Each structure stands twice: as C-alpha cells, then as structure tokens.
Structure 1
C-alpha cells in the first residue's frame, strides 16, 4: 500500500482500508440539457466510491463549472456535499451567447487522478443578434480495431470498424473489404452508431483494403498487415462462460502466459494459460459490469481488451400515454430497491441522449468512445462487444505514488507554497488564513520541508473576504496559491448549434412562454441560514462606548487595555501581551496576533485607526496555539461598520468561490390553482432532487402545464447497496 494512502488513513477516519477504494466518481443529473437565457438549470450530483458504488463521504465540496466553447468558465460555484449528495441551480444570464457549453463537476480529491464529470449543454439566446454558421460539411473518420491487437496470419481474426464524423457521431454507410489475392470481397455495413465487425483469415503476404462509400466518392483504408511470428488472443462468450484462446503462429509452441481480469484497479481473477490452448472462466466467478481482461505473454508484455460481464441494466423507455393540459399525471414505475433518487419531468423535442447514471458510471466514464443513451438501450450483445473492442480504457490504471491535493473531508482547503525571491522553499514559516465579515474565522499552519502549507476553513461561515499572510518577520517571501479549479481541460467536442425553420419557431414560442412566466414570478425571501459564530472563545471584551473615548488608539490601549503594552521604536509600533504565562515566570516571548474585523492587520495601521470607528476590542492574554505556531495572545479589534475602517488587510487577498447553499430541498412543481388565473407555461413540470425511496413501485404524481408536446420523465439514483438506477418514461400532452 502506498505511503500516501497510509497517511490519509490515519488522518481521515472512515476512509476504506482498501487501496482500490480511494477513488471517487461524480455523476450529475441535469434537469435539462437545452436552455434559453432566463431559465434555470437545476442539477443533482452523486459522489460515489468507484469500487463499491456506494455514496462516498470522503469529500465535502463539489466544484462546478460551466465552460464555453473555448473552454473558459462562464460560471463557477461550489456545493457542500452531504453524505455523497448535493444539489444546486444556475440561472442562465442574458449575456451568454447561443452555443454549446460544458457542465463540469469534480471534487478536489479527483484532481489527483485528472478525473471529472462533464456533459454538454446547449444555451440559446434569442435576444442577441449573432452570426450562426451553417450546417458543417461532415468529415469521415474511420477507426479500425483488431481483437488481440495483432492480425495473425493463417488464423481467424475479428476486426471492428467504427465510422464517425468530426463530432464523434456514428455514420451509417456501406462498403467492402477486398484482398490483393482477389478473394471474394466481404460486404460491410455500419449501423446508425457507426459500428461493423467481420472476420478474415489472411495469409502472411496478403493485404486487405477497406473501401467505404461517402457523399462524393469512396474512402480507401488499408487494414493492418498480418504478422507471421506473433501471439494473439481471442475471447468468445457463451451463455455461462468466457473462453480465452491464446493463439501462436507456431502451433507447436506451448509457452505459458497469464490471464488476469481487473474490475477498476482490482485484480479479480488470475490464471496461467498455455499457448495454443483455451481457458474457460465462469461468468459467475467474475463481478458484473465492465472488466479489463489482460493477456501477459512469457516476456511480460501485456495486451488487453474490455468485456461486459452480464448484469445488463434495466433501463426502460416506458410510455405513459396521452394527457391534457393542466391535468394531473399519476403513474408508477416498476419496483425499485431502497434508494436516493432525483426526478425530472421536462418537455423535449426528441428523446434525450444524455447517459443515465448506470451506463455513465460503468462504461461512459471509463472509455474513449462517445455514445448516446439510445445505444445502450438498444445495443445487442455483439454491438456492445464491438464498442468495447474499439475502445481504450481511460479509467485510472494505477493510483499515484504521491497525491498533491488532500480531500476536503471536514472543511474547505487552501493549499500553497512559500518561497523567497530566489525561488527557494521556506521551511517552518507560520502562514495564516483569515476571513473578515460578519462571521470571522482563522486558520494557521507552518510550511513543510517543501515550503508547502495547507489551511482549512469552515464552509458554513466562509462568506467573508479571505486573506493569507506570513505571521512572522520573514523578509522577501512570496506566497503562491494552488488554484481551486482545473486550469485547463482536454478539448471537448462541441457540435455547432444549427437552426431550421421548425427549430426557430419552437424557440420563439418557448421564449414567449418564458417571458410570461418570469413576469409572474415571485421570489421567495428567506432569512440567512448562517448563524453568527464567535471567532474565539474565552475572550475579554472592551466595548468602547462603556468607557471614556480617547482621541488615539495608542491612548485607548494605554488607558483601557491593561493586558497589552504598546511601545514605539523608529515609527514602528509593537504590541506586547502581558500574558498569564509571563506573569507566572515563563519568560519566552512570542508575537501577539493582531486582527481587525477578523483580518490580519499591521501594528502601524491599527494605531492609525480612529478609535471613534471602533465598537469593541477583544483580548486573549494567554498563549494561543495553532499547531506549531504560538502567540502570546490575540488582540482583535471590531469596527462599528465592520468595514475595517477603510484599512486594507495585511497579506494577500485570495479569490475563493463561495459555497452555494445546497438546493436538496428545492423542488419545482406546477400547481393547479383553480381560483387563480395565472398562466402555466413551464417546460419543466417537476424537479425533486431529494427523493428517498423506501423500496417497491415508484409512485409519481404531478401536474401538466399549458405546454404541449412530448415530455420525458427521468429518474436517476443510487440504491442503499451502491447500485446505480436509471429509469425513463415518455408521455404526450395535447
């Protein structure tokens, strides 16, 4: 087990002892994937253990971004995760241009593995004049995959092709495979997702060419050349078995190799195999879902392919019939286990192609192919195998030796490094993080042997202005802060938004409906849920209105604050705390920590503050410990206006994206008020991100609006046992 994992096990109670159980995966259920400006996107995120599937409690903050086509963020927020779940919303502002965007979500811990969830969003702004490009000329990309990775001469080989456009959408086309030896050609026809497979038995000196039809002419692609002296492995599926065959160009070669099967990063099966023989593995001896089957030859070289081991997800497309406008819908899904669920009901032009939580977790997040939801619903056993043969595994293969980002298990984290101007690391330097504002908090630590530091903050009172400072007299130092979010992402596939007359008419109608609903919208006002919390305990407070006010802060301290002494040397003020330890004979002195409205402040700025702006002065006159950092006491000054009296904080201001209030309790539902003649033009009829289903049939009860068309009911969730659940149904409103 890696050293970094052992340390984390000590620091974080409840983290599984299994090294393979440290990775997290995020799935987000979006209420819609196409929005107009002025509408609200609702979302529910599930944080799971990659290994067990159960809701994870390792991280407490979810980082969310919405990126434009160039990869720049147009919105950033953070959500507090409770027991592996959180929910939020995003009001689409009217300054966003029409285009495709990416919704991205991840935890700080996931950054160690370069992992994140993303899903495409289409945002339409009918109020801005924009130049829209015409439908692009589609390109043809052809991918060829050979089972076992090598084309073996004089043996039967399975070949999979996938034909896509430049946006990774499958292209349905026809063609043939021809040989230079003038054998009978093999007819090829790709399905709507671009897949086709066929078998060939080539001679060593034989070459093959794939000829595909395209809009104007043909595409010619050379197949891989056969090898004469190599090893290939094939996998054959029966009702109960996986049969692995290792085949050599030399039929008399009986060299021993090894077959190993992995679920995520965990080995779940291992067995020797002799060349030119077969190994049978019972499906019941392997976990369900996506597996990596690796063949390792006698030289230690491995080659692999992906397999899907039974357990197909019951991801049904039910039909609930026809309803009238402003009517009640009462329907029932088939029995589901006890689970945490989220439910959306939205009007759709076509059936949504976003992956459900099951297929995203098991396959979509771990391969380099992009397939719509409909593929997994209708895929045959052979089609699914074709997908896996043509795919590379992109899930993390190994855990890193070291991690850079700690999980935000109990609180928020700010990480950084202290160096001098020669870029040398500074060791054992005290560093502090302070929040000013109504609720104030502070965190202090010291730098490690690499000059790095980790500071924490309480999410519930993190609404002030954060500042970081060096809390000792160390000259010529620089502080660098690790960014909260990813600095860059891989290039996403963004399909251009193309409009036709039907699409334009639908947008105009929807825009009018949206403006009507916004005109009748009444914002609910709620008091703040964040209660005031004192920054320190056991303080002695001096409220200046209770005393005669003096003209200067120096006189105020000299005459009123008996626990503190103020000295001046060459225009530099110094505070000396008359601590209890000093009085009792402990003469080792430490600095006094100075705060103004919760922020760090220099002694000179504090002395230049007008005492008429001060409400009270809090004093702690005993040694105060922050880890390895020690202070003789704390002097905390509070202004009446809580604005630091116009004095800038000491240190560097940092930009921490605020934590959004968790919207798990926020629901959206059309209400039918008979006595109120209020229009109901909602496209989103129902949204509930916090459904706890106790098991059995899932009952649905909601109302339709004045909007007509096809509606999708989408249910996503995680069972108590860690199984992913996805259900969809459709109905029509006339």
Structure 2
C-alpha cells in the first residue's frame, strides 16, 4: 500500500473514531487525501435472472478496484437488496467480503408477488460515488400461487412473448468469451443422473477468481444476465471517480465489519448530564454471542463494529451508568440508496408459458419436500470468544440437586458466587476472587444467554432455575472494553431465550441485519457410496453452484451430476483475472 493511500485511510479512521459516525461531515483539508483512496465497484454473478417462488437466488460478489486493477481489500462488508418496481425493498442482506470476494443466497418465499425486480449491490464506500453508486441486475419472479398476475400479465393485443417460444440468450457468443480461460466438456450430451466433467484451461497461467453456475435454460425470453465482460465494458471514467464535494457527508468504509452507530440522549431536555465517555453495551444473544462495550464522544455518539455472523436478528443496547434511567438510546440508520427506477425490465407472461410454469412449479415442490435429504450446510465461522484462555469453572446443574429458585441454586450449588440484597432491596452478585483478593467485594459481569444484565433482581425473584442448563464462573478480574469487573458469571438456559424475559425500560431492543453466514452448497452425487439417493426423485434445475473458485494452475477439472430433468442446460462462468481482466464463458449441453 503506498504512503499517500495509507495516510488517506488513517484520516478515515481518525474521522471514524473521533466522530463515531458512519457518515461523517467532510473537512476541506481532508478532501485531497480522501480522493487518493481507491473507488470500489461491485460485480455480481447471479445463477439466473428468472425465478419461481420456492427457488434459490444465488449470487457471487466481486469487489473491484479498477483504478489499481485488483480486487479491493478496503471494504469488508457488501450490501445486497432486491427492489420491486415501486422502489420497495423485498430483502436486504449484509455479506462478508474477504479479499474482495463474497457470496450469498435468498430463498424466494411464496409471499413475494410476481413482478419485475432489481437486485442491487454496493459497499458503504461506494455510496460516496454519485455517478455509479451500485451494481444492478434485472430479475423476474413468477409466483404461480397468487390469483393476480397483473404485474407481468401480457396484454391480449400486445403479447410480449410470441407463440414460438425462444431463448434469447443462446450461448457461446463470440463477444462473450474470454481468451484467458477455455472450457471443454467430456461429451456434448448426457443421460439423466450421469456424471459431467468439464475441463478448464488457464491459457495464460494467471491467477483467476471465478464462479460457476450450471442450470437448465429457461425456454422464454428473460432479462439479460450482466456478464463480467459487459459490466467492465460499460464502466466509464466517471463511474470510477468520487467527488466528495458533491455530497453533504462521507460514508466511511466498513474496514473491519458492519458499523452500528447510535447516540445516547438525556431523557429530560433540561438535563445537564455530561454525555462524554459514557459506556454503552451491545448484546447479541445466542450460543456464540456478541458482547461489546463502547464509549461515547462529547455528543453522546457511539459505534460498534460487528464483524461476526449471528443466528439472532435481535439485540439489546443499554447504558452502563449509575444514572442509566436518565438516558434513552437512539440508533442512526443510513438513508436508503437512491435507486434508479427508470430501467426496470418489462417481462410479461402469456398462455403459451402455462405448461412450463406448471411443470417447474411441481418440480420445485418435490425438491423442497426432500430438502432435508439434500441440505446446504453452514461453513464453520471463526467466532471471537471473549473468554479464551481464561480459567473457567463450569456447573452443569443436572449434576446437582435441582432447586426451583435462583436464590437456592446460588446458595446450595455455587461455591464461588454469592447472592445478597442491598439496602435498597435489590439483589447483588459477588464472585470469590483468588488470593490476595479472596473476597466477594466488587461487581461481577453477569451474562445470561449472551445478554449483559446489570440488575439481577428480576431474574433472581421470578426466573425458574429449573430452566437453567449451566452456570460458568470466572474468578479473575475481567476487562470488557474499558470497564473492569470482579469476575464473570455466565448463565445458559436450555432454550437460550432469556432475551424474551429481559425488558427493563432502560434497555433498547433493536433489529440487526446480521452478516450472512457462508454456506457449503449441496452437490448431488450418484457414485457407489451414495445409494441413499437412488430412490429419491431428483428434479434439480440448478445442477451446480460454485460461487467462490480460485485457479492458479494451468488446468482444472470440475464435475457434477445431471438430474431427472431433461433438455438443454447452460454452464455460465464469470470472474476476473488477478489484474481484473473480465472472464465470461457460456456453454450448453443436453440431457436426454
């Protein structure tokens, strides 16, 4: 990284940590250095552009620095949205970006109506570019279960699909291939449930990043799939320039993860409370929970950097202060992206498509009925453990006599933890420290199902301890952020549902857009070791989805199996070389 670019990123971090904001006010003295930081642009490869509800939309993301001819190492999060023709967001996802690559998927539910949509993708840093703030791909969704198809129904006198149905994207176009990568198949035609082998030849022995989709060709006209080549050709010089003077504020890049920004506000307008350096805690519950403490600036602003994936979309935020009832917590949401509503596709259906839609819908239902036999799996994600390397005592309460109340459990089971009432009638906890601090003085950190709990009184008085699975105790002094605790008490319930009980007035519940957890996508095989699948129907239209491939050898062979679905299938490969030369290959084969 060159020195000027490094200084620019330092300025971003200074603004980030001093203002604790996602969008910060710009300073004229910083503009020159900010303009040295590379502009990002996203390309997205989707597995199709026409879907029925009950199918998966898969996508692979390439975050590019075209000015430097490389994948971007700046943003670590990308945002993906599906927008309907009225500008309403159908879904939003946050995707982890590592070394310029990311991947995700969306199962299209039956409550999504038929219509023309746009799939868009962007990073926070891209939002500073008023010329080209996001990637856009037209998408069509057909919902055969809804009574009204007005959004895509062809007018009787102006059918957009002719009686002779043709596929507009027939493959192997001369202008849509790559000189760096070639593809050959072991034969042009296959039977059902047969192995297909495709050989990739790296003609220039360069590093190649690519994704592969193998899918049955739709037998009707549909939106064009934006290829890596067509995307790169359409990028203009203005698309790769950011003029910070044209914006009122600067969107900071997500350098380490998704940024959550908020502010504490005094409840009383006449309050003269000092807002600076107040501690705020964010808890995201779950088995692998997220717990962080942030300090506010002089205006009460705070931020959290969320760099993990979670199963829960609910979180709790609370002020850690003796006067915590004097504050309320607000969360700042970024303004939505200004979508271009002028270039939606105008896909229409007519009676000639009826049999195709019915057949495909039946096949979808059968495939979804057997999903448990052919599931995708979640990739193992490295989760940060706050207590790694710290000596922990664990009490599995099933190993002891069960008591109904929490108070009895503390008294009879927990040797190194204490429970007592203070003069105000509230319960306080204590942890027995190690010598020379072998006493119960000081306040421990109490975590219940991943939630930081400041006042245990309600838990002690009303929670049934028979719902508690384990209690863990750390006797050492523990620092969380800038706050020190005399030990830690972690309580895990069987149902991991204490978030439903924990609702003090000073705690704010928010919904989070968790970073999507990467998956290993199911690959059907019919070799001798997979006899379990012989009697299961196989109506896969998507034969292969490999979203995150890397090649630095002269050749590579990929294989997959056909399904019980016949006719013409398409192999679509999209990607980029190490110096961001676009790669796009299409090839067809038949299944009889």
Confirm or deny a common fold (TM above 0.5): yes
Tell me, yes or no, if the aligned pair for 1:442 and 1:457 is still in contact at 8 Å.
Answer: no
Q: Distance in 1 between matches of 2:358 and 2:590?
A: 21
Superposed displacement of residue 642, structure 1: 3.6
- Segment drifting more, 80-89 vs 502-511: 502-511
Structure-2 residue corresponding to 1:661: 517
Determine which of 543, 546, 554 is the counterpart of 1:688.
546
* Cα root mean square deviation, aligned: 4.6
Within the candidate set 627, 631, 640, 2:481 is matched to 627
The alpha carbon displacement at 1:669 in A equals: 6.4
Pick one of 462, 468, 493 that aligns with 2:317.
Answer: 468
1:129 to 147, 155, 173: 147
Contact residue 20 and residue 51 of structure 1 kept, 8 A: no
In the alignment, which residue of structure 1 is the partner of 2:391?
A: 538
Residue in 2 aligned with 1:102?
118
Q: Decide which structure has the larger Cα Rg and report it.
A: 1
In structure 1, how many angstroms separate the alpha carbons of the residues matched to 2:318 and 2:352?
A: 59
Unaligned runs of 5+ in 1: 138-311, 368-391
CA drift at 1:46: 1.5
1:297-376 pair list within 5 angstroms: 323=189, 326=192, 335=203, 337-346=206-215, 347-349=217-219, 353-361=224-232, 363-364=234-235
Q: CA deviation at 1:80?
A: 3.0
* 503, 506, 519: which one aligns with 2:353: 503
2:277 paired with 1:435: no
In 2, distance between residues paired with 1:334 and 1:406?
A: 34
Would you say 1:78 and 2:94 are equivalent positions? yes
Shift of residue 460, structure 1, vs aligned partner: 5.0
Matched residue SS, 1:459: coil
Give the direction of change, closer, same or farther, for the CA distance of 1:416–1:486 in structure 2 (3 Å limit). Answer: same
**8 Å contact kept, 2:57–2:105:** yes
Tell me if structure 2 keeps the 8 A contact 1:565–1:578.
no
The question of 1:598 aligning with 2:450 is answered yes
Any idea what SS the aligned residue of 1:353 has?
Answer: coil
CA distance in 2 between partners of 1:105 and 1:485 (Å): 15
Give the match for residue 200 of structure 1. Answer: none
**Counterparts in 2 of 1:694-733, with a 5 A limit?**
694-696=552-554, 711-730=569-588
> How does 1:256-275 map onto structure 2 within 5 Å?
none
Residue 111 of structure 1 deviates from its aligned partner by 4.4
Q: Hey, what does 1:407 align to over in structure 2? A: 254
**Could you tell me how far apart the structure 1 residues matched to 2:233 and 2:382 are?**
42
Given the alignment of the two structures, is residue 449 of structure 1 paired with residue 304 of structure 2, yes or no?
Answer: no
* More moved, 548-557 vs 723-732: 548-557
How far off is 1:718 after superposition? 2.0
Q: Which runs of 5+ in 2 are unaligned?
A: 17-32, 157-174
- Which whole-Å CA distance do the structure 1 matches of 2:588 and 2:222 have between them? 9
| Aligned match of 1:264 | none
Q: Residues 184 and 199 of structure 2 are in contact (CA less than 8 Å); yes or no, is this contact kept in structure 1?
A: no
Deviations 1:488-530 (A, max 9, x none): 6443533333223433443344334444555666633588746
Q: Quote the residue 2:48 is aligned against.
A: 32
SS in 2 for 1:506: helix
* Separation in structure 2 between the aligned mates of residue 341 and residue 637 of structure 1, nearest angstrom: 45
Give 1:98 deviation, angstroms: 1.0
Q: State the TM-score, normalized to the length of structure 1.
A: 0.60
Aligned-partner Cα distance in 1 for 2:85–2:188: 38
Q: Which has the higher contact order (CA 8 A, sep 6+)?
A: 2
CA distance in 1, matches of 2:535, 2:35: 60
| TM-fit CA distance, 1:455 | 1.9
Report the CA distance between 1:546 and its aligned residue.
6.6
Q: Aligned equivalents of 2:352 and 2:527: distance in 1? A: 30
Residue of structure 2 in register with 1:228 after alignment: none
The range that moved more, 443-452 or 323-332, is: 323-332
Instruction: Kindly indicate whether the alpha-carbon contact (under 8 Å) linking 2:281 and 2:317 is maintained by their aligned counterparts in 1.
Output: yes
**Alignment: residue pair count:** 527
Residues 21, 358 of structure 1: alpha-carbon distance in 2 compared, 3 angstrom cutoff: farther
In structure 2, what is the Cα distance between the partners aligned to 1:549 and 1:25? Answer: 59
Looking at secondary structure, tell me which structure has more strand per residue: 1
Specify the SS of the correspondent of 2:511. Answer: coil
